[in-house]
Chains A and B, each alone.
Chain A
Amino acid sequence: MNPAIRTHDLGKVYLEGFLMRRVEALRGLNIEVPEGVVFGFIGPNGAGKTTTIKILMGLHSSTSGQAWMLGQPAGTPESRRRVGFLPERPYFYSHLTARELLHFYGHLYQMGRDVRTDRIELLLEKVGMTRFADVKLSKYSKGMLQRVGLCQALLNDPDLLVLDEPMSGLDPLGRAMVRDLILEQRAEGKTVFFSSHILSDVQNICDTVAILVGGDLRGMGTVDELIGNQVKSIELVITGLQEPPADTDVIRTDRGEHRVRVQPERVDAVVAAIQGAGGSVVERLRIRADLETVLMGEMARNTDGVGGEVKP
Chain B
Amino acid sequence: MSRVWALATNTFREAVRDKVLYSILLFTVGLIAVSLALQEVTVGDQDKVVRSVAQGAIDAMASIIAMFLGVSLVWKEVERKTIYTILSKPVSRWMFILGKYLGMVLTLAIEIAILMAVYTLCMVLQQEMPPSVVYVSAGMLLLELMLLTAWATLFSTYSSPMTAGAFTLAVFVIGHLADDLWYFGQQASSAALQHSSELIYWALPNFEVFSIREHAVHHLEVPWSQVWGAAGYGLLYTTAVLSLAMLIFSRRDLR
- Which residues of A line the B interface, CB within 8 A? 14, 54, 57-61, 77-78, 80-81, 83, 85, 87, 89-93, 95-96, 104-105, 107-110, 149, 152
Contacts and interface: CB of A to CB of B under 8 A. Distances in A.
Interface string B120-132: 0000000000000
B253 A61 contact: yes
SS class, residues of chain A in contact with chain B: loop
A93 B91 contact: no
A110 B88 contact: no
Contacts of A92: 82, 85
16 contacts: A14-B253, A57-B88, A58-B88, A61-B251, A85-B88, A87-B81, A87-B84, A89-B81, A91-B81, A91-B82, A91-B84, A91-B85, A93-B14, A105-B85, A108-B86, A110-B3
B158 to A, nearest CB: 15
B6 A107 contact: yes
B226 interface: no
Nearest to A149: B85
B254 A83 contact: no
Contacts of B86: 108
Most B CB atoms within 10 A — which of A81, A83, A96, A104? A104
Interface in B182-225: none
Given A93-B82, A108-B6, A83 B88 contact: yes
A47 to B, nearest CB: 17
Nearest to A104: B10
A105 B89 contact: yes
B19 to A, nearest CB: 11
Q: How large is the interface on B (under 10, 10 to 19, 20 to 34, 35 or more residues)?
A: 20 to 34
Given A58-B87, A80-B89, A95-B17, A110 B2 contact: yes
B232 to A, nearest CB: 32
B90 A59 contact: no
Interface in B80-108: 80-82, 84-92
B2 A59 contact: no
Given A95-B13, A95-B18, 5 more contacts: A87-B88, A90-B81, A93-B82, A104-B10, A108-B86
Nearest to A136: B17
A110 to B, nearest CB: 6
A162 to B, nearest CB: 8
Contact of B90 (A60, A80, A89, A149): A80
Nearest to B14: A95
Nearest to B84: A87
Contacts of B17: 95
Nearest to B7: A108
A59 B6 contact: no
Nearest to B6: A107
B88 A80 contact: yes
Interface in B212-255: 251, 253-254
Contact of B254 (A59, A96, A105): A59
Given A60-B254, A104-B10, A108-B6, A85 B85 contact: yes
Most B CB atoms within 10 A — which of A54, A60, A85, A91? A91
A87 B85 CA distance: 7
A152 B85 CA distance: 8
Contacts of A81: 90
A77 B6 contact: no
A73 to B, nearest CB: 14
Given A59-B84, A95-B14, A95-B17, A108 B91 contact: yes
Contacts of A85: 84-85, 88
Interface string B1-35: 01101110010011001100000000000000000
A93 B86 CA distance: 11
